A and B are shown apart, each in its own frame.
Chain A
Amino acid sequence: MAESAIRDYATGRGFHRQTLERWLAWEAADQESLQEIAVSLKISENHLRDMLDWLEEISLRDVTKIHEILCRPAVLSIKTDPRLGRADKLKRIKEQLRRWRFPRLAAVEERIQLKIQALKLPAEIRLSVPPGLEGGRLRVEFSAGSVAELEELTKRLNAAATTTWTTEIFDLLSGQTTEKVQGQS
């Protein structure tokens, strides 16, 4: 039942043969659980490939079935949340799967975000870190509409640079505190 529906879905969206074969190599219950999400959220091939990767790898690492992962309460609550549109549901389900697939990376990223928020910088200053934290650098962007505003923003940045929050952000980026995160996860 699921197999023909999956074939139809993949063909209709022009999926690559390897993607389809990989999906169909799963057990029937696993195939079906992903098919239900794929159809309802109209998942494109690139997103689906990410999900195939992460689900297979979580399943292998945690010795669990893929359909069991997709039936966890965290996924179900996103799927059934009436406030969320299709794109938001897909985004959140992928974020959740990524958190399960990369628990320590996600924990470090979340800790960095918390510290960035704690700096309480104005909206004109944006701090961000690279995807996957690769490169280990903090990106700082800001824009000003006048000399006075620029002076004010640089003052705020200077003040932020000397806080322990900022020191801890760089510690996290350079693996100084990965051990602590590992201990907590």
Chain B
Amino acid sequence: MIYFNNVSKIYNKDSIGIEDVTLTVSAGEFVSIVGHSGAGKTTLIKMILAEDKPTEGTVFFESQNIHKLKSGELTKLRRRIGVVFQDFKLLANKTAYENIAFAMEAVGKTNEEITLDVPHVLDLVDLGTKLFHFPHQLSGGEKQRLAIARAIINQPELIIADEPTGNLDPISTYDIVQIFKKINNLGTTVILTTHNRGVIESIGNRVITMEKGKVIRDDKDGKYVI
């Protein structure tokens, strides 16, 4: 599904995002990317979302070279990916309902579909009673659940979660991990970055370890070794 072919992102001599990364993520996998801050995890995610361009190498989503896509094609590709961030990146001026509805509007869903699906997905993440709350009225865990609801509402083929538990307490972290596991069990590919050992152990799937921009280990059985 995702293929990194000798990808490097060098900002300048002293600042290397990632260096010579080659890896493949297959459809249906749950891949955790671990490493210290500055290891290159977020740069890797940015490459998949075409938020940043590599200085060398190519990144493919299926057969498409992500960084060769035109603006319209990129928009369509992004509709196939759900994204969850550490800082939630919710639309501050929109209610929980509107945040989800916006993602549905973006892919051209009708008002009827939106009215039907939004309350349902918010129920799934236990926010059924907070439909009309603004993000600033929600707790950290609730915000992240809302971000997950937004990421899954259009049933994407891939979910990317960049440090989704970084700002959460242990109970919320456990809840969020369980949600991601359920999403993956339903067949969606999940790429998750973290530096939380507990999260990796509870997921127990493939773990890619990064250090100073390089992939130093790729384990199939969920080992956390730095």
Is B one of A's binding partners? no
Q: B residues within 8 Å of A by Cβ?
A: none
